[in-house]
Chains A and B, each alone.
Chain A
Amino acid sequence: MGGEVKNAIRCEKISKVFGNVIANEKIDLELNYGEILALLGENGSGKTTLMNMISGIYHPDEGTIYVNGEPVSIQSPLDAQKLGIGMIHQHFKLVNIFSAMENIELGTPGKKLPPKELRARVTALCEKYGLETDPLKPVHDMSVSEKQTVEILKILYRGANILILDEPTAVLTPQETEKLFEILRHMRAAGCAIIIITHKLNEVLSISDRVTILRKGRSFGTVKTAEVDVSKLTELMVGRAVNLEIERPATDRSEEVLKVVDLCVERSDGSTALEDVSFHVNRGEILGVAGIAGSGQKELCESIAGLITPKKGAILYKKENMAGKTPREIIELGISMSFVPEDRLGMGLVAGMGMTDNMLLKTYTRGKGAFVDRAPAKKMAETLVDKFGIVTAGIEMPVRMMSGGNVQKVLLGREIESSPDLLITAYPVRGLDINSSYLVYDLLNEQKKKGVAVLYIGEDLDVLLQLCDRIAVLCHGRLTGVVDADKVTKEQIGLMMTGENWEEVREYGG
């Protein structure tokens, strides 16, 4: 590029309306070749809508998009591809049974290449941009970061030099994130223009050259990354100063609430999900569970909640073994345990039902006879709306119409209202913006102060380190260590997530 700044994308007064919701209002955005632009904004601020317009999934109602200085009309993903624009979606769009190179070739024009030639092309591309992949490996055998590499290659293979990444680091370990950033820097040096959407502010600071902030569907200015810090970015994003400290109150932790001993769980296909996992949670304590997605977190939660029967081992709740009991039996034992599953709308709530009916799911057996008494559930729903500031058009509106943050509040609120002694939550802030996330952390801390034992399955290590008292790290169903949160670094947890034991890691870098 040689010092000269070349314009890749310029958006001028872009507006997009869905029904009566204004998703984007007169947004301006500029992206140059050879730079990484971070797009920052809370949930619902219109980031994804804007990116979908650039990649041809939606069409703007007003405004013009310029690519390489020319005004263009992008009608479909194919048009975007022809203009050299490629988007990596938050959820990977790969065909599981195909190999890496088949996925890369998919949808490209022309005849099917002989495997040898295709392989050579993919390898050449990898070398050019410093990527690593096994072209013949089927996608279903790949780790998350390998899949992401394939996504990037897919776009590069189509000759794209403008890349959009939608929350690419959400599912990566710190080491994998650093590797991805290395690749992105490599691509920047090769002259690509890159837009990255992320919620993690320290990542914005480490990777981007400039930051464009969106708030409530409007662009709120662009700043040079070098001139801002985390608190300044938050302020720009939320509109006011936010205390980013997550408190960790000291509590009475004398009593053991949950003890898991040598827990072994098999998946339905016969593979091992958990192997000899042992740990305990005391009252007034938040135990975090870290690990790459699919390391056995789901099976751990579900076996404690009584949804799956462990193959071996004991789950002791206040010294009583619960392994192999059904959820109903667990409740009848007088054990109050609240389970907030990771799949909020799949397992936690019935998407098509309103708040009232969702409240009833947990309490309907308390009614007498064959009839259901809806009055208490309705009252509870109204209480939750007031208490947690849930935004909804009405408590009878199907919960799937609510935004992610509000759904999470409904679910968490329902579980907390049953005043549990043990609260299990899996990824409670997934997809939530900074405000809602902090509300969830506050709620959890409140429970902790009440003496509830909390098991917190999380993905953001910064949060785990601040919120939790101790952190258990899972890797391929094995526990690589349970450590005090204030005696461990993010890097050490990252290493444990990839299979190294705490003993080895402690030596490595204290």
Chain B
Amino acid sequence: MISLDFILKFIVAAVAAGTPLLFGTVGEILSEKVGHLNLGVEGMMSIGALTGFMAGYGSHNLAVSMIAAFAGGMVSALIYAVLTIGFMANQNVIGLTLTIFGVGFANFVGVYMVGKTSSNTWQLSADLISQMKSIHIPLLSDIPVIGKLIFSYDPFTYTGIIIALICGWYLFKTKAGLNTQAIGENPAAADAASIQVTKWKFINIVLGGGICGIGGAYCSMIINGGVWISDCVGGLGWISVALVIFAAWRPQTAILGSFIFGALRVLKYYMPSVIPIAFFNMLPFIITAAVLLIASIRGTKGSHIPENLGFNYFREDR
């Protein structure tokens, strides 16, 4: 009844649909590991979506797009970092504001650009779209099952997995990662151990924002087939924030988590049509709410939540 081919298709689609979530989650983990809850993921992804799309439109080059998306995300995270680290502003308020700003700004520029084109669609060149296609490695991609399962995704997916693995290695295997974690757990202890708290907070938050930005570019460039559409991130940033909890603040676990949520997103295409589509559209968000609920019931006990998450650090505070 259900063929192997059908299952393979579903998995491949799930991984692709989970890719933007992977970027968002890993980026947010970096930020939360230094104790900063950044609710601006949706906004940072939107800005990354815009800058990536723009660069792609101008350069017809995927690598340039990705770098531009990374830079866009970094700049938007820098706004957040300056306000919360430098000016000690409330993290939640700034994060939410960043989301509202980022989404609005991307839509604003997008609408303007659409108006500038003759066909009233802002579209990427066929050359760039071909670069974004799923890779095909001769021989490897042709291996039955394995080839399809491992060697048939687009460049974004591989970039995301590599970034997640590097971040995992950085956080748990290097001295800098140890210092980073100490800041999120107990910034006063880190400070006393002569770790430069402010510097490392900036580095992690800004890098995290950059990674989110690439996830945004995936939304604008791949999901909609190279055509700019307003609100292209469409809530994936919010799911990413919840996925951080699901992944227990581990980038490696985020790989698995984002693909599971990716599966939820594409489930609607693989299910009998008896159940209304709206239900499946809602599903990832319901599960997100459930994850948050379960996490809060379990409390801090046994979870890996950074102890100082959400609180700014001021050395002379008592």
Q: Footprint of B on A, CB under 8 Å? A: 57, 76-78, 81, 87, 89, 91-98, 102-103, 105-108, 110-112, 154, 268-269
A81 touches B194 (CB 8 A): yes
- In the complex where A95-B185, A111-B175, A112-B173 touch, is A76 in contact with B307 (Cβ < 8 A)? no
Smallest CB separation, A424 vs chain B (Å): 26
Chain B residues contacting A269 (CB-CB under 8 Å) are 299, 301
Is B287's beta carbon under 8 Å from chain A? no
Q: Please, how many angstroms separate the alpha-carbon atoms of A436 and B299 in the complex?
A: 40
Chain B residues contacting A76 (CB-CB under 8 Å) are 194
Is B240's beta carbon under 8 Å from chain A? no
Chain B residues contacting A108 (CB-CB under 8 Å) are 175, 193
B192 touches A93 (CB 8 A): yes
The 3 A-B residue pairs with the shortest CB-CB distance, nearest first, are: A107-B193, A93-B189, A93-B192
Kindly report which residue of chain B lies nearest to residue A78, judged by CB atoms: B194
B192 touches A77 (CB 8 A): yes
CB within 8 A of A107: which of B188, B194, B301? B194
Question: 0/1 per residue, B155-179, Cβ < 8 Å to A?
Answer: 0000000000000000001110011
Jot down 13 A-B pairs with beta carbons below 8 A, ordered by A.
A87-B192, A89-B192, A91-B188, A93-B188, A96-B185, A96-B307, A98-B178, A98-B182, A106-B178, A106-B179, A108-B193, A112-B173, A268-B299
Chain B residues contacting A154 (CB-CB under 8 Å) are 193
- In the complex where A98-B185, A269-B299, A269-B301 touch, is A105 in contact with B192 (Cβ < 8 A)? no
Is B191's beta carbon under 8 Å from chain A? yes
- In the complex where A111-B175, A112-B178 touch, is A97 in contact with B307 (Cβ < 8 A)? yes
Chain B residues contacting A102 (CB-CB under 8 Å) are 178
Is B78's beta carbon under 8 Å from chain A? no
Chain B residues contacting A268 (CB-CB under 8 Å) are 299
B175 touches A110 (CB 8 A): yes
Q: Identify 12 new A-B residue pairs, CB closer than 8 A, beyond the known A57-B315, A112-B178.
A: A77-B192, A78-B194, A89-B192, A91-B188, A93-B186, A93-B188, A95-B181, A95-B189, A97-B304, A107-B195, A154-B193, A268-B299
Chain B residues contacting A103 (CB-CB under 8 Å) are 189
- In the complex where A96-B307, A112-B173, A112-B178 touch, is A107 in contact with B190 (Cβ < 8 A)? yes
Kindly report which residue of chain B lies nearest to residue A107, judged by CB atoms: B193
A106 touches B182 (CB 8 A): yes
Q: Please, how many angstroms separate the alpha-carbon atoms of A107 and B189 in the complex?
A: 10
Q: Please, how many angstroms separate the alpha-carbon atoms of A91 and B191 in the complex?
A: 13
Q: Please, how many angstroms separate the alpha-carbon atoms of A94 and B179 in the complex?
A: 12
Chain B residues contacting A98 (CB-CB under 8 Å) are 178, 181-182, 185
Chain A residues contacting B185 (CB-CB under 8 Å) are 95-98
Kindly report which residue of chain B lies nearest to residue A345, judged by CB atoms: B318
Q: Please, how many angstroms separate the alpha-carbon atoms of A81 and B194 in the complex?
A: 8
Question: 0/1 per residue, B201-224, Cβ < 8 Å to A?
Answer: 000000000000000000000000
Smallest CB separation, B171 vs chain A (Å): 12
B186 touches A96 (CB 8 A): yes
B190 touches A106 (CB 8 A): yes
Q: Please, how many angstroms separate the alpha-carbon atoms of A48 and B195 in the complex?
A: 22
Q: Please, how many angstroms separate the alpha-carbon atoms of A154 and B173 in the complex?
A: 20
Chain A residues contacting B191 (CB-CB under 8 Å) are 77, 93
Q: Please, how many angstroms separate the alpha-carbon atoms of A95 and B307 in the complex?
A: 9
Chain B residues contacting A96 (CB-CB under 8 Å) are 185-186, 307
Q: Please, how many angstroms separate the alpha-carbon atoms of A90 and B202 in the complex?
A: 29
CB within 8 A of B182: which of A78, A81, A91, A95? A95
Kindly report which residue of chain A lies nearest to residue B177, judged by CB atoms: A112
Interface centre among A98, A111, A268 (most CB of B within 10 A): A98
Q: Please, how many angstroms separate the alpha-carbon atoms of A93 and B182 in the complex?
A: 10
Q: Please, how many angstroms separate the alpha-carbon atoms of A98 and B188 in the complex?
A: 15
Kindly report which residue of chain B lies nearest to residue A58, judged by CB atoms: B316
CB within 8 A of B195: which of A57, A92, A106? A106
CB within 8 A of A94: which of B181, B189, B315? B189
CB within 8 A of B193: which of A91, A93, A97, A111? A93
Smallest CB separation, A338 vs chain B (Å): 26
Smallest CB separation, A277 vs chain B (Å): 25
Chain B residues contacting A112 (CB-CB under 8 Å) are 173-175, 178
Interface centre among B174, B178, B189 (most CB of A within 10 A): B189
Chain A residues contacting B179 (CB-CB under 8 Å) are 106-107
Q: Please, how many angstroms separate the alpha-carbon atoms of A269 and B181 in the complex?
A: 24
Smallest CB separation, A141 vs chain B (Å): 14
Question: 0/1 per residue, B19-47, Cβ < 8 Å to A?
Answer: 00000000000000000000000000000
Kindly report which residue of chain A lies nearest to residue B299, judged by CB atoms: A269
Chain B residues contacting A106 (CB-CB under 8 Å) are 178-179, 182, 189-190, 193, 195
A95 touches B186 (CB 8 A): yes
Q: Please, how many angstroms separate the alpha-carbon atoms of A87 and B299 in the complex?
A: 34
